[in-house]
Structure 1
Amino acid sequence: MNNKDLKEFFYPKSIAIIGASKDLTSISGKPLNNLLQTNFKGDIYPVNPRYDEIEGLKCYDSILKIPGKVDLALIAVSASRLVSIMSECIKKDVHNILLFSSGFAEVGEDGKGIQDKVAKMALENNIRIIGPNSVGCINVKDSVPMGFATSMESSKGYKHGNIGLVSQSGALGFSVFGMAQEKDLGFTYVVNTGNEMGVTTLDTMEFMLEDEDTLVIGAYMEGIPDGMQLIKIAKSAKELKKPLIILKSGKSAIGKEAALSHTASLAGSEETFQVIAKQYGIITVKDIDEMIDVMQIVSRRKWTNGSKIATVSNSGAAGIAMADSCEEFDLKLEPLQGETKKKIEAIIPSYGSALNPIDVTAQALKEQHIITDTVEALAKDKNTDVIIIQTTFGGELGEQICRKLVEIDKKETKPIIVTVTGTKELTGKGRDVLRKAGVPVYKTTYDTMLAVKHLVNVSEYYNEKKTILSSLTANDNSLLIQEYSTHIWTEEKSKKLLKQLGINIPENVMIQSVEEIDQHVKGLCFPLVAKVVSKDILHKTDAGGVKLGIQNIQEAKQSFHEILESSKNFKLDAHVDGVLFEEMLNKNGVEMFIGIKNDSQFGSLLVCGLGGIFIEVLKDISIRHIPIDKEAAESMVKELKGYPMLLGTRGQKRSDIESFTDALVKVSDFVHQQNGTLREMDINPVVVLNQGEGIMALDGLIVWDEMAFPTSVLN
């Protein structure tokens, strides 16, 4: 399906309503009533063998009896009748269907069977289906309601604007639409995708991205139909500067699949979604109120150049509240300086404050120019990115101030945000003036500052010019070690790969029999560490499979025997490849880890954090979708709670952070060019030595997708 197909869906010239009812208050009667009430300019064909006519329109026994072409069929019949109805739609050459019917996959196997059969019929005949279990859609631009949602029944019509909204839930989606309309927010399309038999939320978002009138896209999602499609949409949205706002439910704390490595157990599905959202500039909200608040501020399309906030209020307490919120949301509230401060000191009473927050005092009740002149001065201030005004003024004075703020907002590119507190009776008229002009206005300090934080975040994302590219060519498998024997690479094989990637590892040798120790181990520098190598024993310490501080050949032989014995006792049927002897690290450093998780929806994720034995206890981690560049690697490390340890604390030297971030990029590049065949990777610990000394990977595990290996290799 391409987006041109969906344009045909939302701009029908003829609509058939199959299962239409004479009861215009019923589910099957409302779609017809809504089309009549909005004066749909195309042809409407009710279909129901029980009636000859409905509301003066000829009613047909079957869609096959309709004389003209049918662009869109609205179907309100039981699930059991749908297969036969679909057959008739196919014969009539209908390519767009909106299914109101319920009783499909959501009710069990029988319903799922019907849904699967209908979906197959649609696919084979190039039919686009929205639903089932949908309450409908609206083409707001042309006032074409296609459904029975309560919000479609507005006697005032629909406010057209620049917001597109798609929701898996009909009740929630059209609640957002109705509430937003009350706040004078205008829309282009509102779509409820329901069970998503065909068209998904993401398909609809792609269509809206290409629509020149849709400049903001909101979505309610219970699941992500296709993770990579969402990333593609987010990248396109950045290029077009069309904010994506997603309210997602169905959160789960952790994925259920068994994980062999530490890393794979750290990133749950909801956490992964939030990582993707942050990395690709998607605005995530917690409820419908926050969604509407964000729609209001971003639909104005006045982006910020930074996070420096100037606040103006007629109340000292309000100024303090805004200052507290700035700190909470990491917004900068800096004292005014220079000419701007002098101008404002001359405007406000001497007992006010021109610092920031700016307190214009209650004197503004008598002299309304105090607020507006102050705002105009801030609009010219190069050190102010966002202006926030908080006022409690009501009545005619409040309305006059709001009208003046609208005039200022029209001529300024800098975002101006207003908080008007008080009852609707006292302050409602002023608030309405702002809303009708598109000036973002809120009732509380918290709501205001939260919306501003979202605006600042998305503006910063749009201001980034870089595009992340991998330095390796896709499908370049030159780094792959071809000595496959299993899809699980234990420490010995993993370290060979790390060495090829340019990541330092200790000098080591693999020993399979005690007779090899005299010849091969003596070339290493004592003291040594010995570790069991077995795909069946991944946590070696628990199995007694690690020996430290080996000082000579005799101790090496003794360690070899003890490790094999302990491993056998730990797991009788474990296949042991041998014992890895390697030089012990004689330098101090900070233990970190680097890991890979292959997410079923979004592909490969890079994870880093404090390593060693603390990885699962502290869970101090940072995650990014692959590929990343050096700048992203640096941001990963800086957001860790343990970052100060790398900078050096209590007299310790600074760690070689650059070498660690280089390793993150190397791993990212390698994994990216494997096209999803690498399932897990765990490099733990990676000791980050003092600055200039590099890093050392002391252990490693790699798990490949079994499907990527020939059967003959695995056997």
Structure 2
Amino acid sequence: MRFRDIRGLLDARSVAVVGASDREGNIGGTAIRHLLKFGYTGEIWPVHPSAETVAGLPAYRSVAELPGVADLAILAVPAARAVELVAECGAAGIRNGVVWAGGFAESGPEGRALQDRLVAACAQTDFNLCGPNCLGLINTGTKLTATYSSGLFDFDTMLTGTVSMVSQSGGITAASMALAARAGWGFQHVVSVGNEAVVSAADFIHHYANDNGVRVIAAYLEGVQDGPKLVAALKEAHAAHKPVVILKGGRSAESAEAAKSHTAVLAGVDKVFSAVMRDCGVTLVRSLEELLDVCSLFSSLRPEQLGAGGRIAITTTGGGGGVLATDQCVSRGVAVPRLAAATVEAAGAKLTPLAAVGNPTDLTPESFYQEKWRAQLPAALAALAADDGVDGVLFLAQAMRHRAQHVVAAVEALRSATDKPMCVSWPLAPEEALTSLASLGIYAFPEHDRAARALGHLGGYRPHTADSAVADAAVPDQVTSLVAEWAITGPAVVAEHRCRPLLTAAGLPVVDGIHAHSIDEAAGFGFPLVLKGVTGEVTHRYAAGLVKLGVADREELATAWKTITTRAETDGVALDGMLVQRMADGDTEFLVSAFTDDQFGVMVSVGVGGVLAEALDDVVLMRAPVTPEAAVAHIRELKLFERAPKLVSGVDLAALGGFVANLGALAAALPWRKFTLEINPVKAVAAGVVALDALLIVETTA
């Protein structure tokens, strides 16, 4: 996995702005004025074929005439000129650049061809290109503003921080900076990657994971160009104890409108993305507001605090706010437990008699009015935070504008008194109070529910995830030989009677059965039995009336054989005899599948099986190959375990986890580019689990 070295993009100490002029509306000139306004610490070299100066700075006729090799070239030119200018930059020794212009792959075939030429030009000199079709990038630490964003005109100074963002939308980057500044905090880096023709979002995430100044990584993504590379970058960030918070656009699209298998219906694009992000330790959010809220909370905490649980002690200056916040926390998955008696006694001894100690604890405004109670408030807050039954504190300030300095002092004292995470919600807080808190690295939420939502994500953050991806697992040579014998060269449906040997060769338990071509042959198998018409033309045979369960004797067998044969003839379906199987004991059925995703490769899914698979829509997904232990951890996430515990009480989870792991290893070794291998159902029996039915659909071979 090769990540590009993009330090020259983000940490450039000299910038050439090609196409800059003093003409009104010129975006190159705008970029230079931004650099000057915010005090960029490096060299700024305007490039213009005829101008003597730009924004008061000496101008150069070409990049070849610059006084040195620029770390970064901003190509503020139309799309048609970008290719030749990248070549000129490469010849001059410049290895990093930004192209803002649109008109490339996003605009149609001609634009795609132009972008291909741009990529080829970059490849000639290993040129790191951000864009095209982007808003550029910002490093607030060095005041590098390689952007023409008009939003920067609204800022007099540039706040910096420990959150770095990469976005596939320029508008989202601009809005993020503005909203964060309004909340009193800033980013370390903000990058708009546009079409990601050369440098991708994954490259920036990789860079952030290795930047000591970055503590939290934010991303807005609409698509994934290289799934394995993104996964590798996300895992690197997680291993570095840097939370990644992602807002995903376009999550409602489904992978198939008319699905041939249950799996295609259940495993939509959103579910696959969410499953992969879960395995990478990513926090997924649903709005820009939520993205910024979670980032602000996470950035205010130390790495060791990010593993805290989801039990919160609430303090408030008004009873109603505490009650409401309690409801909001619970609805967000945050527990508000009863405090220990010793905690209540210790805190109560330091608070005004008007206070109500519990969870929530109503401090009352009285605690801030008199010096006596203000002096004892830090000890009371420390006692509440020290309760062994809570993992953090949510401090609510109801109004309190006239005592703002005392509220800030109490928050600071609480933070000093505990190693547990602390979150502040302060509607209508005075601006100076927010500034004071921000100087401490604390960002107050303007609404209690937003704080509760962020705390819910903190409670769900796991420093160590049940990561499903492991080294490629070996499969028996029999599997390779069998697949080679099939010689599938195009779209194909491999029916159950042909899938059974494949599963058996991979070590997956399959119910006993034979391929029969006569009633006598089927009767010799023994009763009771299951009768299935053998065909590659119908993928849902039960729904098509080609399956008969619980055939008890020869008479029922003859009737079932005729019924299935007649139904097939009526529907114009050709049968190749019947598959005869044992009736399997057990009431619990699972749908276990392996399939290929365009972005992330081979996936494995486990859900409620049988005919109810699509109706109940209860499924978990994981990347393949997967360890048995990780598979069990994910299987436990099925809603079935919470809603129908008796139904799964006898399930051998270790056996099911091993089945899923073996299937993942098998699927990871299959040669086809796009396929679905669906086993429905897998029945939980006394001896473990067993596959009752299987279907392989190959869509694309290469």
Query: Could you state the TM-score of these two structures normalised by the residue count of structure 1?
Result: 0.89
Contact 2:595 2:667 in 1 (8 A): no
Query: What's the offset of the Cα at 1:591?
Result: 2.7
**Counterpart in 2 of 1:545?**
546
CA deviation string 1:155-175 (max 9, x = no partner): 643233221111122222022
**Counterpart in 2 of 1:73?**
73
Single out whichever of 547-556 and 305-314 deviates more from structure 2: 547-556
**Aligned equivalent of 1:509, options 493, 502, 514:** 514
1:437 corresponds to 2:440: yes
Query: What's the offset of the Cα at 1:275?
Result: 1.9
Contact 1:591 1:687 in 2 (8 A): yes
**Counterpart in 2 of 1:203?**
203
The aligned amino acid for 1:363 is E
**Counterpart in 1 of 2:531?**
530
1:449 corresponds to 2:448: no
Contact 1:31 1:147 in 2 (8 A): yes
**Counterpart in 2 of 1:712?**
none
**Counterpart in 2 of 1:165?**
165
**Counterpart in 2 of 1:281?**
281
Query: What's the offset of the Cα at 1:549?
Result: 4.3
Query: What's the offset of the Cα at 1:320?
Result: 1.0
Give, in whole Å, the separation in 1 of the partners of 2:464 and 2:112.
46
**Aligned equivalent of 1:416, options 414, 419, 422:** 422
**Aligned equivalent of 2:626, options 625, 628, 653:** 628
Query: What's the offset of the Cα at 1:20?
Result: 0.8
The aligned amino acid for 2:409 is R
Contact 2:138 2:190 in 1 (8 A): yes
The aligned amino acid for 1:273 is F
Single out whichever of 557-566 and 369-378 deviates more from structure 2: 557-566
**Counterpart in 2 of 1:91?**
91
SS of 1:606 mapped into structure 2: strand
Contact 1:20 1:47 in 2 (8 A): yes
SS of 2:701 mapped into structure 1: helix
**Counterpart in 2 of 1:698?**
692
**Aligned equivalent of 1:328, options 326, 331, 334:** 331
Query: What's the offset of the Cα at 1:613?
Result: 1.4
Change (3 A) 1:12 1:312: closer
**Counterpart in 2 of 1:681?**
677
**Counterpart in 2 of 1:713?**
none
1:641 corresponds to 2:639: yes
Contact 2:339 2:387 in 1 (8 A): no
Contact 1:589 1:655 in 2 (8 A): no
Change (3 A) 1:665 1:311: same
CA deviation string 1:449-487 (max 9, x = no partner): 1111112222xx1055x6656597346655556163355
Change (3 A) 1:669 1:4: closer
**Counterpart in 1 of 2:501?**
496
Q: How does 1:167-566 map to 2 (within 5 A)?
A: 167-256=167-256, 259-302=259-302, 303=305, 304-350=307-353, 352-366=355-369, 367-369=373-375, 371-410=377-416, 412-421=418-427, 423-424=428-429, 427-458=430-461, 461-463=462-464, 468=468, 470=470, 473-474=473-474, 477-480=477-480, 482=482, 484-485=485-486, 486=488, 488-511=493-516, 513-514=517-518, 518=520, 520-553=521-554, 556=557, 559-560=560-561, 563-566=564-567
Query: What's the offset of the Cα at 1:526?
Result: 1.0
The aligned amino acid for 1:347 is K
**Counterpart in 2 of 1:711?**
none
Please, which runs of 5 or more residues in structure 1 have no aligned partner?
Answer: 709-715
Contact 1:590 1:646 in 2 (8 A): no
Contact 2:469 2:624 in 1 (8 A): no
Single out whichever of 486-495 and 560-569 deviates more from structure 2: 560-569
Single out whichever of 400-409 and 232-241 deviates more from structure 2: 400-409
SS of 1:482 mapped into structure 2: helix
Single out whichever of 291-300 and 397-406 deviates more from structure 2: 397-406
Change (3 A) 1:362 1:370: farther
Please, which runs of 5 or more residues in structure 2 have no aligned partner?
Answer: none
**Counterpart in 1 of 2:149?**
149
CA deviation string 1:483-525 (max 9, x = no partner): 63355432123233444455543321112x43xx54x435422
Single out whichever of 213-222 and 501-510 deviates more from structure 2: 501-510
The aligned amino acid for 1:622 is V
Change (3 A) 1:268 1:4: closer
**Counterpart in 2 of 1:616?**
614
**Counterpart in 1 of 2:114?**
114
1:137 corresponds to 2:137: yes
Query: What's the offset of the Cα at 1:234?
Result: 2.0
Query: What's the offset of the Cα at 1:387?
Result: 0.7
Single out whichever of 131-140 and 448-457 deviates more from structure 2: 131-140
**Counterpart in 1 of 2:605?**
607
Change (3 A) 1:185 1:62: same
Contact 2:496 2:534 in 1 (8 A): yes
Query: What's the offset of the Cα at 1:431?
Result: 2.8
Give, in whole Å, the separation in 2 of the partners of 1:626 and 1:323.
40
Contact 2:271 2:621 in 1 (8 A): no
Give, in whole Å, the separation in 2 of the partners of 1:308 and 1:645.
24
Query: What's the offset of the Cα at 1:643?
Result: 2.5
Give, in whole Å, the separation in 2 of the partners of 1:389 and 1:72.
45
Change (3 A) 1:463 1:336: farther
1:663 corresponds to 2:659: yes
Single out whichever of 466-475 and 49-58 deviates more from structure 2: 466-475
The aligned amino acid for 2:438 is R
SS of 1:347 mapped into structure 2: coil
Give, in whole Å, the separation in 2 of the partners of 1:539 and 1:116.
43
SS of 1:204 mapped into structure 2: helix
Give, in whole Å, the separation in 2 of the partners of 1:406 and 1:600.
49
Give, in whole Å, the separation in 2 of the partners of 1:359 and 1:50.
70
Give, in whole Å, the separation in 1 of the partners of 2:438 and 2:495.
62
CA deviation string 1:176-225 (max 9, x = no partner): 12321343324322211122221111111111111121121111112122
Give, in whole Å, the separation in 2 of the partners of 1:193 and 1:360.
48
SS of 2:309 mapped into structure 1: coil
The aligned amino acid for 1:525 is G
The aligned amino acid for 1:380 is A
Single out whichever of 610-619 and 251-260 deviates more from structure 2: 251-260
Query: What's the offset of the Cα at 1:127?
Result: 1.2
Contact 1:264 1:596 in 2 (8 A): no
- Identity percentage over the alignment? 27
Give, in whole Å, the separation in 1 of the partners of 2:579 and 2:48.
78
Q: How does 1:22-37 map to 2 (within 5 A)?
A: 22-23=22-23, 26-37=26-37
Give, in whole Å, the separation in 1 of the partners of 2:689 and 2:476.
26
The aligned amino acid for 1:438 is G
SS of 2:118 mapped into structure 1: helix
The aligned amino acid for 1:698 is L
